Amino acid sequence: MNHYSLVLFDLDGTLSESGEGILSCVRKVFAETERALPDEKTLGTFIGPPMYDSLRRCGFSHEEAEQGVERYKHHFVEEGIYHNRPYDGILEVLRTLKDKGVQLAVATTKYYPFAERIIKMLGMDTLFDFVGGATAGTERRTKAKVIRYVLEQFPAVPKEQVVMIGDTKYDAEGAAQVGIDFIGCLYGYGTREEMTAFCPQAPYVIQPSELTAYCLSGYDGKGV
């Protein structure tokens, strides 16, 4: 197939190594609410999905989770947001794709104001045509909803020419639900097994530099 016309990138674990800042803020939320801190494996699942959903999975009620999200946002703005750095080689990938005429967009379930700020901090804002993130409410909280929102900004691009690049099962699930191709990043925070459950034919990369070839040549496999 010809190369993709539009490439969507997840943020945490795909463009940016951000785990330290996120988990530091999560630990403070649990401390302030006097809850037992989850084990490290469970804590790791907080990187990627909406914070509200993660807190709910840990036993927070709806109201407690909403309050927890606000606590998290406070700490993230104060300190967590500064613990972000681009993965080695990802800026070169973005520049190469941009030079080849590929349209680039971010599709993340991170709260949009945070996502936009991080993209600027990482020096990527001039490389992306659009940044799509989650809303404070429920209208755009899942990955599939964010992907659909981003695709609405590119009405001339058919789904067959779009690929989602991410590192967790939430990215793979969103791509599968929307019906677009998916490429998994094993250098991030998810696992091959989790992503393959949703996109069994997806290829995987172990370092960002491998993404360029897939994006410019496509692959024989669908996200569904």
Q: How far is CA 93 from the centre of its chain?
A: 17
- Does 10 qualify as catalytic in the annotation? yes
Q: Which residue has the tokens 């990369």?
A: 205
Q: What is the per-residue DSSP string for 89-156?
A: THHHHHHHHHHTT-EEEEEEEEEHHHHHHHHHHTT-TTT-SEEEEE-SSSTT-SHHHHHHHHHHT-TT
Which residue among the candidates 10, 12, 167, 181 is catalytic per the annotation?
A: 10
How many whole angstroms separate alpha carbon 134 and alpha carbon 115? 9
Nearest residue to 111 via CA among 91, 81, 86: 81
Active site residues: 10
